[in-house]
Chains A and B, each alone.
Chain A
Amino acid sequence: MKSLFVARKGRLSFIYEKRSALIFAVSMLICIFSILLSLSIGQKYISMFKVIQILFDGSMGGDSLIVNTIRLPRTLVALFVGTSLGLSGAILQGVVKNPLAAPNIIGITDSGSVGALIFLTLFTDPKNNALTTSIFYMPVFAFAGAFAAVLIVYLLAYKKGVTPYRLIMIGIAVSGAAKAITSILIINGPVVFIKEAQLWITGTIYGTNWTHVKLLLPWFLILFIITLIYTRELNVQNLDDCISVGLGSSVEKNRFLLMILSAALASGAVAVGGGISFVGLIAPHISRKLTNSSFGNVLPLSTVVGGIIVVISDIAARTLLFPLDLPVGIFTAGIGAPFFVYLLLKSQRALRRGF
């Protein structure tokens, strides 16, 4: 607590420890390194220096084609899906005051998959199982599904305001119902649905291109900036409700806003990447371990950590079993799940203290 940066102006207020700033800088470096790694590894190895040259100097023949049209958009999608999920998870855990909450628990992923399956059901030609419209509309449906679910959850949880408890409980209920609808839609449709739906639910960014980046990037950036403005409120939310009210915060309004922020971020990620799991759960955990539990420190760090996790998982997903291109969700779950259990078992007491 010796050395703090303080920046205050109007509604904005940041207090930043030097140590946290250092950790953030290091994680940024790791993030950039993993992006470069992702750009250089693949079917054709392109050295990192060359990648940097390509990025700054533009055209360099065939390699620049690979980097600019295939690897860069995919890597950026991985990055922004990860950052969105990491940030979304950190916000949600703050709002419900519990470190076990994650965007997929309140039904975002399952409802997103209902949206995606509705799209497949509506636009699949039963004769030859071909899509009758562009696959690019699928994210729109997934997003609508995910976002609608959050509104439903909020509405159903409302009883003179919402409490974290009701949000989670109703979220679990809605996500269970969404799962059931998903399986009905799968069974109702042709056999190919099983594979397509399974792929979507596991979470994949295979075949993403610049269009996806253009959709996701502004969405993420806008929400990120709004979140930074509300960081202070998130710190207050994390206190007991009585204290927050006493501090003069309009708890209910801010809780709604923050939850919508978290949901919007996760919905964006889910729309593009499907049900990539555990990122929203473990990124905030790692961040809290690295810094303290002040959200001014946790939010940006969790964002970057989330990005790193997905970028590295995607590298693993497309190279480890080359030429198979596995869904990235398998790796986030495969690494995330055991890691999460380890974290929980190791720091059961610390878990409570952190909050």
Chain B
Amino acid sequence: MFNTGTPKLALKSNRSKLLLLMGLLLLLVTFFFASLLMGYIKTDFSDLVNTYTDYTESIEHIVIKTSRMPRALIALFIGASISVTGLLMQTLTKNPMASPGLLGVNSGAAFFMVFAYSFMPNFTQNYLMLFSFLGAALAVLLVYTLAGGIRGSIQTFDLTLAGAAISAIFISLAQMVLYKDQKTMEEVLFWLTGSVEGRSMDALFKVIPIMLIGWIICFLLAKRLDLFSMGEEIAKGLGLNTELLKLQIIVLVVVLAGASVAVAGPIALVGLIIPHLTRFLVGSEFKWAIPYSIVLGAILLLSADVASRFIIYPKEIPVGAVTAILGTPFFITIARKAENR
């Protein structure tokens, strides 16, 4: 698909792909339980079971129910959605460096959220989310136009720089708002780095349907995405309405990225790394790439979240900082490899 060479490990047969997917699902479940049980307050498996069968107001039960369960679920869903967003963006731009963080989508959504949060404190979560979508959409539009996407295919270099510039603009604007509003600053500091902590179940339940619908639409588009990634001319020749598909991809990106940022803030590099890992494992056939991205993304964010509790123990750091630091070596490797534009 890109000039990154054929992945060496790419599995060939459907059976081995399915087997590996099952294995990864098992890993996902393991990390999910790890996320529920590990942390500053020690809990074991019986606490977890009792929380949902025989709830007492003990500290372990409260922690599991109100803190760890939401954050584990959030990590799962957000990680999966960001990865799918990254996959879609890399397909749309035919560009191995595309991801919601690099292209300013995250910063756009984050700025609009900060703005709404600071100036319209009475807004409910639903409206805040709309702002997040708006910001994501604006950022996509700006970056895409700037990089010359309207005129045809986009060069990596232009796209990245346009993304960085637009991102810088939104971050500066957010800083302006936050400077004015110190109280908001202290509240959103964690969220601004990307964090799955301290959010209620409600916030998540509002976005889960949106995300699920997004994933399902992705699956439905899988065949067309396969065609599209063969090249626009070929896809057109084979009867694909590429303009419509592009629009569909953009809408999906905006919705999935917007919903993710609304809940967990801009989480770095997951959307860049996971699609590469996916292609490395199963190649670029979307029928497989989508589920793999979902599962791998969830695993990555769950494990990063567990790690975030122990790095400067007993304090916690935002999971976005963990993914940013862990992801940097990958980023550098990918960037060094993907130079042929």
A binding-site residues for B, Cβ under 8 Å: 98, 100-102, 104-105, 156-157, 159, 163-166, 168-170, 172-174, 176-177, 179-181, 183-184, 186-188, 191, 194-195, 198-199, 201-202, 277-278, 281, 326-327, 329-330, 333-334, 336-337, 340-341, 344-345, 348
Kindly list chain B residues whose C-beta atoms are within 8 Å of the C-beta of A177. 324-325, 328
Contact with A176, one of B165, B185, B190, B269 (Cβ below 8 angstroms): B269
Cβ A348 vs Cβ B162 within 8 A: no
9 A-B pairs closest in CB distance: A333-B172, A180-B324, A169-B335, A100-B161, A180-B321, A337-B169, A177-B328, A173-B331, A183-B193
At the interface, is chain A mostly helix, strand, loop or mixed?
helix
Closest Cβ neighbor of B172 among chain A residues? A333
Kindly list chain B residues whose C-beta atoms are within 8 Å of the C-beta of A181. 321, 325
Nearest CB of A to B130, in Å: 23
Contact with A180, one of B97, B146, B268 (Cβ below 8 angstroms): B268
Closest Cβ neighbor of B312 among chain A residues? A188
Kindly list chain A residues whose C-beta atoms are within 8 Å of the C-beta of B178. 198
Cβ A166 vs Cβ B185 within 8 A: no
How many angstroms between the C-alpha atoms of A159 and B185 in the bound complex?
41
Most chain A Cβ neighbours within 10 Å, of B142, B165, B182, B192: B165
Known contacts A100-B161, A198-B178; A183 and B321 CB within 8 A of each other: yes
Cβ B172 vs Cβ A173 within 8 A: no
Nearest CB of A to B175, in Å: 5
Kindly list chain B residues whose C-beta atoms are within 8 Å of the C-beta of A344. 146, 165
Cβ B176 vs Cβ A165 within 8 A: no
How many angstroms between the C-alpha atoms of A101 and B97 in the bound complex?
17
Kindly list chain A residues whose C-beta atoms are within 8 Å of the C-beta of B160. 168-169, 172
Contact with B335, one of A173, A199, A348 (Cβ below 8 angstroms): A173
Could you tell me which residues of chain B, from 114 to 148, have a CB within 8 Å of some CB in chain A?
142, 145-146, 148
5 contacts between A and B (CB under 8 A): A105-B168, A177-B328, A184-B317, A337-B169, A341-B169
Closest Cβ neighbor of B339 among chain A residues? A165
Nearest CB of B to A349, in Å: 10
Most chain A Cβ neighbours within 10 Å, of B142, B320, B328: B328
Closest Cβ neighbor of A197 among chain B residues? B189
Cβ B164 vs Cβ A198 within 8 A: no
At the interface, is chain B mostly helix, strand, loop or mixed?
helix
Q: Does B156 contact A (CB under 8 A)?
A: yes
Contact with A156, one of B179, B332, B339, B341 (Cβ below 8 angstroms): B332
How many angstroms between the C-alpha atoms of A198 and B186 in the bound complex?
11
Nearest CB of B to A260, in Å: 21
Cβ A191 vs Cβ B186 within 8 A: yes
Contacts A101-B161, A169-B160, A184-B312 aside, 9 further interface pairs with beta carbons under 8 A come to A168-B161, A169-B332, A169-B335, A183-B193, A183-B320, A188-B312, A188-B315, A340-B165, A348-B145
Cβ A170 vs Cβ B335 within 8 A: yes
Contact with B142, one of A159, A183, A341 (Cβ below 8 angstroms): A341
Q: Does B102 contact A (CB under 8 A)?
A: yes
Nearest CB of B to A241, in Å: 13
Kindly list chain B residues whose C-beta atoms are within 8 Å of the C-beta of A281. 165, 168
Most chain B Cβ neighbours within 10 Å, of A102, A183, A326: A183
Cβ B175 vs Cβ A333 within 8 A: yes
Kindly list chain A residues whose C-beta atoms are within 8 Å of the C-beta of B182. 195
Known contacts A176-B328, A180-B268, A184-B312; A277 and B172 CB within 8 A of each other: yes
Could you tell me which residues of chain B, from 280 to 324, have a CB within 8 Å of some CB in chain A?
311-312, 315-318, 320-322, 324
Kindly list chain B residues whose C-beta atoms are within 8 Å of the C-beta of A156. 332
How many angstroms between the C-alpha atoms of A279 and B260 in the bound complex?
32
Cβ B157 vs Cβ A98 within 8 A: yes
Kindly list chain A residues whose C-beta atoms are within 8 Å of the C-beta of B101. 176
Q: Does B173 contact A (CB under 8 A)?
A: yes
Q: Does B8 contact A (CB under 8 A)?
A: no
Cβ A333 vs Cβ B176 within 8 A: yes
Kindly list chain B residues whose C-beta atoms are within 8 Å of the C-beta of A333. 169, 172-173, 175-176
Q: Does B42 contact A (CB under 8 A)?
A: no
Closest Cβ neighbor of B150 among chain A residues? A348
How many angstroms between the C-alpha atoms of A170 and B329 in the bound complex?
10
Most chain B Cβ neighbours within 10 Å, of A163, A166, A170, A177: A177
Cβ A176 vs Cβ B193 within 8 A: no
Q: Does B336 contact A (CB under 8 A)?
A: yes
Nearest CB of B to A175, in Å: 9
Kindly list chain B residues whose C-beta atoms are within 8 Å of the C-beta of A334. 172-173, 176
Known contacts A98-B157, A176-B324, A344-B146; A330 and B179 CB within 8 A of each other: yes
Closest Cβ neighbor of A106 among chain B residues? B164
Nearest CB of B to A88, in Å: 15
How many angstroms between the C-alpha atoms of A326 and B185 in the bound complex?
16
Closest Cβ neighbor of B170 among chain A residues? A337
Kindly list chain B residues whose C-beta atoms are within 8 Å of the C-beta of A105. 161, 164-165, 168
Cβ A168 vs Cβ B189 within 8 A: no
Kindly list chain A residues whose C-beta atoms are within 8 Å of the C-beta of B185. 194-195, 198
Nearest CB of A to B69, in Å: 23
Cβ A166 vs Cβ B173 within 8 A: no
Closest Cβ neighbor of A104 among chain B residues? B168
Nearest CB of A to B330, in Å: 9
How many angstroms between the C-alpha atoms of A202 and B173 in the bound complex?
10
Cβ A340 vs Cβ B169 within 8 A: yes
Kindly list chain B residues whose C-beta atoms are within 8 Å of the C-beta of A330. 175-176, 179
Cβ B186 vs Cβ A173 within 8 A: no
How many angstroms between the C-alpha atoms of A326 and B180 in the bound complex?
9
Closest Cβ neighbor of B146 among chain A residues? A344
